[in-house]
């Protein structure tokens, strides 16, 4: 699991897309960046650096910085990014303590590093200088194999309360941090995601967007040649949480023939549930509404604690349940009996829904989508 594989794949699959910019200028595409990184990685390996050895990077923020960082990982080495604003003596300590044999530095800090360079430092290469340009003439190499628990980043504090202290971050830790960031900002479909949507269309697989972020869901339904569904979602107007779907997204899905199935877990009564169904029917029409009569199983204290901040019923359960018995339990929600004849169907009839409309909501609309996708 080498982080550099992400850039390597982007260089092949999205070669012409912009990758690095400076101000409003696009400096390099993913294809160009990946090729340069592979050559610099080959040059680093030719210096005799073995997998896991450290390469220090001391530079102000620039497109070349990211290039140097990925080249280090590509070669199977560990990066030691040091603050370019530190005093030369502090940088010298970090270089010695980390055991870095090579340092890639911007021209403005070369003198400070050279004056305090430890004997263990074999090469000080100025980014953008002649020696750095020679690195780009090396033969490219494949991405080195690394495990999730292999060191990727040795990051030092500035030493304001003593000597700088290093924190060791693995490829797995940095990958997890990246995934967490992506889930927060919802960066949309990746190239792999676009391929997945197209392949699911070809294979006749229904695309469910209930767990997708807003941007990802919109890009997926726009790209899909088939209708999509939200198998257990709620309008965000009714229940304001990230997992709910904003109304414009529901409307966009309906325009392509999709269906949103109202999630029952946030409701406390059948009447309230149908109130929420009514809202969506008025929003997009009865042909695009379904039900999600799922019942909740919670396996542990950890699971319930994770959900408690979002749903009052879970918070109550967290306080009331005897957690000495941690077996699978069934929550006392309305989902288990929602589809009973005297519950949901009866409530729809009380509200003058026709038999045809009820049939569509209770499965007909979903069957229409499934038949179309499988056709």
Residue 258: φ, ψ to 5°: -80, 175
User: Per-residue pLDDT tens for 229-245?
Assistant: 999 999 999 998 877 99
Tell me the Cα Rg of the chain.
Answer: 28
User: Which pLDDT band holds residue 316 (cuts at 50, 70, 90)?
Assistant: confident
User: Per-residue pLDDT tens for 151-175?
Assistant: 999 999 876 667 888 899 999 999 9
pLDDT given for residue 292 in this prediction: 86
**Position 311 pLDDT exceeds 90:** no
Give the ranges where 292-363 is alpha helix by DSSP (H).
Answer: 301-307, 312-320, 346-350, 355-359
User: Per-residue pLDDT tens for 171-217?
Assistant: 999 998 887 777 677 878 888 889 999 999 999 999 999 988 899 99
**Domains contained in the chain, CATH given:** 4-183 (3.40.50.12780), 189-295+333-374 (3.20.20.140)
Rounded CA-CA distance 61/19 in Å is 15
**Position 329 pLDDT exceeds 60:** no
| Lowest-confidence segment of 15-29, 71-85, 96-110, 299-313 by average pLDDT | 299-313
**Position 12 pLDDT exceeds 80:** yes
Rounded CA-CA distance 152/302 in Å is 30
Rounded CA-CA distance 252/226 in Å is 13
Q: Are 75 and 44 in contact (CB under 8 A)?
A: yes
pLDDT given for residue 335 in this prediction: 62
Q: Average pLDDT, stretch 33-62?
A: 95
Mean pLDDT, the chain, integer: 88
| Lowest-confidence segment of 7-11, 90-94, 296-300, 364-368 by average pLDDT | 296-300
User: Which pLDDT band holds residue 300 (cuts at 50, 70, 90)?
Assistant: low
Q: Average pLDDT, stretch 265-271?
A: 81
255-284 burial string, b = 16+ CB within 10 Å, else e?
eebbbbbbbbbbbeebeebbebbebbbebb
Rounded CA-CA distance 44/215 in Å is 39
pLDDT given for residue 269 in this prediction: 83
User: Per-residue pLDDT tens for 54-94?
Assistant: 999 999 888 899 999 999 999 999 999 999 988 899 999 99
Rounded CA-CA distance 240/261 in Å is 17
pLDDT given for residue 280 in this prediction: 96
pLDDT given for residue 131 in this prediction: 92
Rounded CA-CA distance 366/372 in Å is 10
Q: Average pLDDT, stretch 279-294?
A: 92
């Amino acid at each position: 699991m080498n982080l550099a594989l992400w850039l390597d794949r982007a260089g092949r699959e999205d070669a012409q897309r912009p990758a690095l910019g400076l101000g409003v200028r696009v400096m390099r595409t993913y294809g160009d960046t990946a090729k340069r990184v592979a050559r610099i990685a080959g040059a680093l390996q030719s210096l005799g650096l073995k997998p896991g050895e450290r390469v220090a990077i001391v530079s102000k923020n620039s497109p070349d910085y990211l290039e140097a960082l990925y080249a280090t990982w590509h070669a199977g080495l560990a990066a030691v990014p040091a603050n370019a604003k530190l005093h030369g003596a502090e940088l010298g300590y970090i270089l010695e303590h980390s055991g870095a044999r090579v340092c890639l530095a911007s021209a403005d800090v070369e003198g400070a590093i050279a004056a305090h360079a430890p004997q263990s430092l074999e090469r000080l290469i100025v980014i953008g200088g002649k020696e750095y340009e020679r690195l780009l003439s090396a033969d490219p190499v494949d991405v080195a194999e690394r495990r999730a628990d292999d060191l990727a980043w040795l990051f030092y504090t500035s030493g304001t309360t003593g000597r700088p202290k290093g924190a060791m971050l693995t490829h797995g830790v940095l990958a997890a941090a990246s995934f967490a960031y992506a889930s927060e900002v919802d960066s949309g479909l990746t190239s792999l995601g676009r391929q997945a949507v197209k392949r699911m269309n070809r294979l006749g697989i229904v695309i469910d967007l209930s767990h997708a972020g807003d941007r990802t869901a919109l890009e997926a339904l726009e790209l899909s040649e088939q209708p999509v569904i939200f198998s257990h979602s709620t309008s965000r107007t009714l229940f304001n949480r990230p997992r709910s779907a904003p109304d414009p997204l529901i409307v966009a899905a309906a325009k392509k023939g999709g269906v949103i199935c109202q999630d029952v877990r946030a409701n406390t009564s059948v009447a309230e549930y149908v109130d929420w169904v009514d809202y969506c029917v008025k929003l997009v029409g009865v042909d695009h509404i379904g039900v999600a009569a799922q019942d909740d199983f919670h396996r542990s204290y950890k699971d319930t604690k994770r959900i408690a901040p979002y749903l009052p019923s879970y918070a109550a359960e967290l306080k009331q349940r005897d957690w000495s018995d941690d077996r699978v339990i069934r929550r006392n929600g309305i989902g288990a009996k929602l589809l009973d004849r005297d519950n949901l169907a009866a409530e729809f009839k009380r509200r003058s829904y026709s038999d045809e409309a009820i049939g569509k909501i209770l499965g007909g609309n979903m069957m229409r989508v499934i038949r179309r996708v499988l056709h």
